[in-house]
């Protein structure tokens, strides 16, 4: 049996995501959880990761349950060091706990699983021509994350609702908005959306794909 590493762009362990992984993974599988922002104070995060003007943002969760918006490019540079450390610690498979797009992250030998590369072809095969409604955490991500869905036909619709504000009503409103604009299937495009968010979105009467649940099930086939 190998060893699984998980890397969040926030702080580890992720109390929101870990139970979804635990539900489908072998209980005996050794795991190491790491985060790009581990050990950093809010002041340090603001100093090193605040989004620069015109740059793509990401939103993530800290250990205290609060959220923070960070710069995607700065996050990618720091994430590579964390990947190297997980591989040095013996991880044979490493799962990125973020659906955001990263350009150059890599491992030497470990199998590296990026939701950004897994989800688009998988979801495209599942929806097969139905109009997809995609819920992202930040309005700014409608533009910055749209490239990975450019191959869908018909073109997807977008709405924003954060999984980190404790506002399930915002998720339900976003889902209804997408339905009313013509969406036939909904995708929660952030690993921070959990089952409570799926239930809120499902009240719109459409099927809902939960990114972290889908990715976890696929990863369980490899580890």
* CATH number of residue 192's parent domain: 3.40.50.2300
Alpha-carbon Rg of the chain, whole angstroms? 17
Span 201-212, pLDDT tens digits: 999 999 999 999
144 confidence band (pLDDT: 50, 70, 90):
confident
Span 90-122, pLDDT tens digits: 999 999 999 999 999 999 999 999 999 999 999
Considering the domain architecture, whether residues 94 and 192 belong to the same structural domain is answered as no
Considering the domain architecture, whether residues 76 and 111 belong to the same structural domain is answered as yes
The whole model's pTM is what? Answer: 0.94
Distance set, CA 219 to CA 15, 31, 37, 184 (Å):
19, 13, 24, 27
What average pLDDT does this structure show over 125-150?
93
Kindly report the number of other CB atoms within 10 A of residue 46's CB atom: 12
User: At residue 35, does pLDDT exceed 90?
Assistant: yes
User: At residue 221, does pLDDT exceed 80?
Assistant: yes
Considering the domain architecture, whether residues 89 and 152 belong to the same structural domain is answered as no
**pLDDT number for residue 187:** 99
**pLDDT number for residue 1:** 75
Considering the domain architecture, whether residues 103 and 127 belong to the same structural domain is answered as no
**Number of folded domains in the chain?**
2
Domain extent, residue 38, equals: 4-116+214-219
What average pLDDT does this structure show over 144-159?
92
**pLDDT number for residue 214:** 98
Question: Where are the extended beta strands (E) located within 53-155?
Answer: 57-61, 67-71, 93-96, 111-113, 132-136
Contact 186, 136 (CB under 8 A): no
CA distance 111 to 80: 14
Considering the domain architecture, whether residues 101 and 131 belong to the same structural domain is answered as no
Considering the domain architecture, whether residues 46 and 130 belong to the same structural domain is answered as no
Considering the domain architecture, whether residues 156 and 83 belong to the same structural domain is answered as no
Q: What is the mean pLDDT of the chain?
A: 96
User: At residue 191, does pLDDT exceed 80?
Assistant: yes
């Amino acid at each position: 049996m190998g060893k699984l590493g998980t890397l969040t762009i926030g702080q580890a362990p992720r109390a929101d995501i870990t139970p979804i992984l635990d539900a489908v993974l072998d209980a005996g599988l050794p795991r190491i959880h790491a985060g790009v922002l581990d050990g950093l104070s809010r002041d340090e995060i603001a100093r090193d990761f605040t989004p620069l003007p015109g740059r793509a943002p990401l939103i993530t969760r800290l250990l205290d349950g609060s959220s923070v918006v960070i710069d995607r490019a700065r996050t990618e540079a720091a994430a590579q060091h964390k990947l190297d450390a997980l591989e040095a610690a013996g991880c044979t498979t490493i799962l990125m706990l973020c659906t955001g797009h990263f350009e150059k992250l890599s491992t030497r030998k470990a199998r590296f699983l990026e939701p950004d590369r897994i989800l688009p072809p998988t979801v495209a095969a599942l929806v097969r021509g139905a109009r997809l409604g995609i819920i992202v955490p930040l309005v700014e991500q409608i533009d910055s994350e749209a490239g990975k869905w450019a191959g869908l036909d018909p073109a997807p619709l977008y709405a924003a609702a954060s999984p980190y504000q404790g506002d399930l009503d915002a998720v339900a409103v976003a889902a209804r908005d997408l339905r009313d604009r013509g969406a036939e299937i909904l995708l929660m495009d952030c690993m921070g959306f959990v089952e409570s968010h799926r239930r809120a979105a499902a009240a719109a009467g459409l099927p809902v794909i939960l990114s972290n649940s889908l990715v976890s099930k696929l990863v369980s086939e490899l580890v």
